[in-house]
Amino acid sequence: MYDVAIVGAGPAGTTLARLLSGRCRVLLLHRQRKKCCGGILTPESQKMLAKLDLALPREVLVDPQPYCVAVWDLQSQLVRHYARQYANIDRDAFDRWLISLIPAKVDIRTDTIYRHSQPVGNDGFDIFFTEKEEIRSERVRFLVGADGSASTVRREFFADQLIPKRYIAIQEWFESPKVLPENFKQIGIDFRNDYVGIFDSEITDFYAWMIPKNEQLIFGGAIPYGNKTQEMFELLRTKLNKAGFHLDCSFRREAGSLFRPLNPFSVCLGSERVFLVGEAAGLISPSSAEGISSALTSAYYLAQTFGSKGFNLSAYHKSLRLLRGQLWLKTVKIPVMFYPWLRKQVMLTGLTALDRGL
């Protein structure tokens, strides 16, 4: 019998497994797939890695390392640069590195898909999952959903909880020299070095992005879920192509669900025997969709509550009060960032923007 089964081996699941490894018997279910993610570590993520005594290895980092965000409003054609100390990473390499840190005593099952659980009295659950196309089961005392925004664990146990607003994140990869416009300096953005946030309320009430990765470029966007999701992404592509880009020759395409918590009641941390961490709990920035820092933080604090009787739900709630408050305060930025008229006025003032020439 396992003490804890963790569903999902992203930053939240791997961190929790590593922190619990010397204190209890842990089963980690790992579904191998590429994450649709820009691969940018915020200062909060970097601070949390330092708190976990982790230093990013060189092979995880990619060039360039941006020191600012270029905000490009397609509707007003305004551009502003804002100072940010981000780390540009290879997200696949980052996930592999976190998995490599897990001690051998953790039972890692790869190529698995979690199916469902069946309560066993007051002792825990029998969990059922597919492993290499075979149905298997294990008995566990506690279950942790670390399986991302479209969490199967959350849907199974907390279906009555408010679900954050759903988006589809779509991104494509290109060879930079083949797609960049010849007149990019006239736009006012160095697309070879800048992390670019693109805003257009005709496309989405969230945002799109361009991120350079060595000699490659990611072009993506978070589009509200619905029957026009693909249509809106193609409209964005058309607008950028009219601006001089050549975004019709991608060599890789990724997509995935993204849930944006616009209401504090859409965050769900769990119950007495089932817990949620990271995006599964709804812990993701409503202003930027950044979730790695919250994944690391929630995993750290959940591990801190583990004792002889297992996890302490009350202590987990208390330890995340600051994080939840910070995420909720970010909703204050939403009108300024995402309402076209307000965004235009703020950008026209140039407040806190960098005076940058190309």
Helix extents (H) in 223-291: 229-242
Length in residues, the chain: 358
pLDDT at 355: 65
Do 43 and 288 meet the contact criterion of CB atoms below 8 Å apart? no
Do 210 and 218 meet the contact criterion of CB atoms below 8 Å apart? yes
At residue 273, φ and ψ (nearest 5 deg) are -125, -10
The model's pTM is 0.95
- Is the domain defined by 62-88+165-260+333-349 classed in CATH 1.10.10? no
Do 168 and 258 meet the contact criterion of CB atoms below 8 Å apart? yes
Same fold, 2-59+91-163+263-331 and 62-88+165-260+333-349: no
Instruction: Give residue-wise pLDDT tens across range 38-79.
Output: 999 999 999 999 999 999 999 999 999 988 899 999 999 999
Beta-carbon contacts of residue 52 (< 8 Å; ≥ 6 apart)? 15, 296, 300
Mean pLDDT of 97-120: 96
The pair of three-digit structure tokens given for residue 131, joined into one six-digit string:
């492993």
Percent of the chain at pLDDT exceeding 70: 99
The angle subtended at Cα 320 by Cα 315 and Cα 321, nearest 5°, is 100
Q: Could you state, in order of their start, the residue ranges of all structural domains in the chain?
A: 2-59+91-163+263-331, 62-88+165-260+333-349
Q: What is the mean pLDDT of the chain?
A: 94
Do 92 and 173 meet the contact criterion of CB atoms below 8 Å apart? no
pLDDT at 229: 96
The pair of three-digit structure tokens given for residue 247, joined into one six-digit string:
């975004």
- 307 pLDDT exceeds 90? yes
Beta-carbon contacts of residue 39 (< 8 Å; ≥ 6 apart)? 62, 88, 89, 90, 91, 94, 211, 213, 218
What is the second-level CATH architecture of the domain 2-59+91-163+263-331?
3-Layer(bba) Sandwich (3.50)
Report helix, strand or coil for 84: coil
Do 169 and 255 meet the contact criterion of CB atoms below 8 Å apart? yes
Res. 357 pLDDT band, cuts 50 70 90: low
pLDDT at 132: 85
What DSSP state is assigned to residue 141? E
